């Protein structure tokens, strides 16, 4: 097996680990084909694609802990030219199967072209939400934090500090890469660090240190060795180079050992992730069931069919109105 094959093995993999010397857990991931599969469904401008890729990486890192058949979603909504970025992570149906991720973005093409802002700034003011569906008969969970931290990764950190009260750090790199003679493709690398709850005393009496009134990882840690461990490991992560994080010249286990060998890293079984969409004709029919006869009449096209397109994968559905219970509008 060549070194390139060994490195490639870790693409589309989320590798959980624990740093036993500092009581910190984490995940590292590389995404390649998954991003191309997600983004090839659309024709986004590069800065939209980059934000979708970052959201997909965050979803993969966060979603790795989702139990079988659970669903985790990120929803980013703003008042800027980029209005919505949405991702879904579907936990494996059973142990050993890959998890599935899908994503899409909605944006105002004209406003984006006229904008003098870049990247995250084009989302504007809004919210970053994490939603979890644990299945039938279970109440969905939702946590929300404002979009005010400068990047999607920083928003995710604030979500964990505010909603979960867990010191969390994300280091994510995304970009387009190409090999000689090959077309460009999107690639991403990311690391998530999280202090274990039992070693992270909650800050109960102090106010948030940030100017916007939001909790940070530093606010959640006391001034003892917990904070020292957290700061030391973050300093080590600060030394990572973009090319190391995104690959493809070093495998995920090698990178973890290079960064944290003094922290006694312990690796667990990786989770494979693939592109996957849950749409289907039955779900479209269920969605249509909430509409009135009048609403359905407005959806019928010139061919006499009701059509629907999946925002995530672009699948096109054509349904006979009569199969939806449409009986025509009576005078």
pLDDT level of residue 3 (50, 70, 90 thresholds): very low
Asked if 253 and 306 sit in the same domain, the reply is no
Asked if 317 and 194 sit in the same domain, the reply is no
Q: What angle do CA 227, 229, 234 make, to 5 degrees?
A: 95
pLDDT level of residue 136 (50, 70, 90 thresholds): confident
What does the pLDDT read at residue 74? 97
List the structure tokens of 190: 């990311």
Asked if 202 and 318 sit in the same domain, the reply is no
Instruction: State how far the Cα of 90 lies from the Cα of 66, in Å rounded to an integer.
Output: 8
What does the pLDDT read at residue 80? 97
What does the pLDDT read at residue 306? 87
What does the pLDDT read at residue 71? 95
**Residue where the block lists tokens 């990572």:** 240
Q: Per-residue pLDDT tens for 160-200?
A: 998 888 999 999 999 987 666 677 889 999 999 999 875 44
The number of folded domains in the chain is: 2
Asked if 232 and 104 sit in the same domain, the reply is yes
In a domain, 1, yes or no: no
Asked if 261 and 288 sit in the same domain, the reply is no
The residue ranking higher by pLDDT, 139 or 144, is: 144
Asked if 252 and 298 sit in the same domain, the reply is no
pLDDT level of residue 223 (50, 70, 90 thresholds): low
In a domain, 60, yes or no: yes
Asked if 258 and 288 sit in the same domain, the reply is no
pLDDT reading at 40 higher than 50: yes
Asked if 261 and 167 sit in the same domain, the reply is yes
Instruction: State how far the Cα of 235 lies from the Cα of 262, in Å rounded to an integer.
Output: 13
In a domain, 6, yes or no: no
In a domain, 7, yes or no: no
Q: Per-residue pLDDT tens for 66-95?
A: 888 899 999 999 999 999 999 999 999 999
Other C-beta atoms lying within 10 Å of the C-beta of residue 182: 8
Asked if 186 and 290 sit in the same domain, the reply is no
Domain that holds residue 296: 281-324
Asked if 285 and 151 sit in the same domain, the reply is no
**96 CB contacts (<8 Å, ≥6 apart)?**
none
SS3 assignment, position 253: helix
Asked if 43 and 152 sit in the same domain, the reply is yes
What does the pLDDT read at residue 222? 62
In a domain, 331, yes or no: no
Instruction: Give the residue from 259, 275, 291 where a domain finishes.
Output: 275
pLDDT level of residue 331 (50, 70, 90 thresholds): very low
Task: Please compute the mean of the pLDDT values over residues 52-70 and round it to a whole number.
Answer: 94
What does the pLDDT read at residue 200? 43
pLDDT reading at 202 higher than 50: no
Q: pTM above the 0.85 mark?
A: yes
What does the pLDDT read at residue 221? 79
In a domain, 3, yes or no: no
Question: Residues 46, 73: contact at Cβ < 8 Å?
Answer: no
In a domain, 329, yes or no: no
Question: Residues 163, 142: contact at Cβ < 8 Å?
Answer: no
Q: Per-residue pLDDT tens for 267-324?
A: 999 999 999 998 888 888 888 878 888 888 888 888 888 888 888 988 888 888 888 8
What does the pLDDT read at residue 198? 57
Asked if 240 and 310 sit in the same domain, the reply is no
Q: Per-residue pLDDT tens for 262-282?
A: 999 999 999 999 999 988 888
Mean pLDDT, the chain, integer:
87
CATH code of the domain covering residue 212: 3.55.30.10
In a domain, 330, yes or no: no
């Amino acid at each position: 097996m060549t070194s390139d094959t060994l490195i490639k093995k870790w693409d589309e993999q989320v590798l959980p680990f624990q740093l036993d010397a500092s009581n910190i857990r984490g995940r590292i991931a590389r995404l390649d084909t998954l991003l191309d599969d997600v983004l090839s469904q659309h024709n986004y401008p590069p800065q939209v694609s980059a934000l979708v890729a970052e959201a997909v990486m965050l979803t993969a890192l966060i979603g790795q802990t989702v139990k079988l058949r659970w669903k985790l979603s990120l929803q980013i909504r703003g008042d800027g030219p980029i209005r919505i970025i949405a991702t879904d992570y579907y936990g494996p149906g059973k142990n050993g199967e890959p998890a599935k991720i899908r994503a899409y973005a909605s944006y105002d093409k004209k406003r984006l072209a006229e904008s003098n802002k870049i990247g995250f700034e084009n989302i504007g003011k809004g919210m970053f939400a994490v939603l979890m569906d644990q299945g039938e008969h279970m109440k969905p969970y939702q946590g929300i934090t404002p979009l005010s931290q400068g990047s999607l990764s920083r928003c995710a950190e604030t979500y964990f500090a505010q909603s979960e009260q867990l010191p969390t750090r994300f280091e994510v790199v995304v970009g387009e890469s190409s090999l000689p003679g090959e077309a460009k493709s999107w690639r991403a690398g990311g690391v998530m660090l999280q202090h274990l709850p039992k070693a992270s005393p909650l800050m109960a009496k102090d106010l948030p240190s940030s100017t916007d009134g939001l909790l940070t990882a530093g606010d959640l840690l006391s001034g003892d060795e917990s904070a020292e461990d957290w700061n030391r490991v973050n300093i080590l992560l600060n030394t990572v180079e973009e090319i190391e994080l995104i690959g493809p010249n070093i495998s995920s286990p090698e990178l973890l050992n290079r960064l944290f060998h003094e922290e006694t890293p312990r690796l667990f079984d990786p989770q494979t992730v693939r592109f996957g969409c849950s749409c289907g004709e039955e779900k479209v029919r269920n969605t249509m069931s909430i509409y009135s006869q009048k609403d359905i009449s407005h959806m019928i096209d010139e061919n006499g069919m009701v059509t629907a397109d999946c925002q995530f994968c672009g699948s096109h559905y054509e349904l006979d109105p009569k199969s939806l219970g449409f009986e025509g509008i009576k005078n």
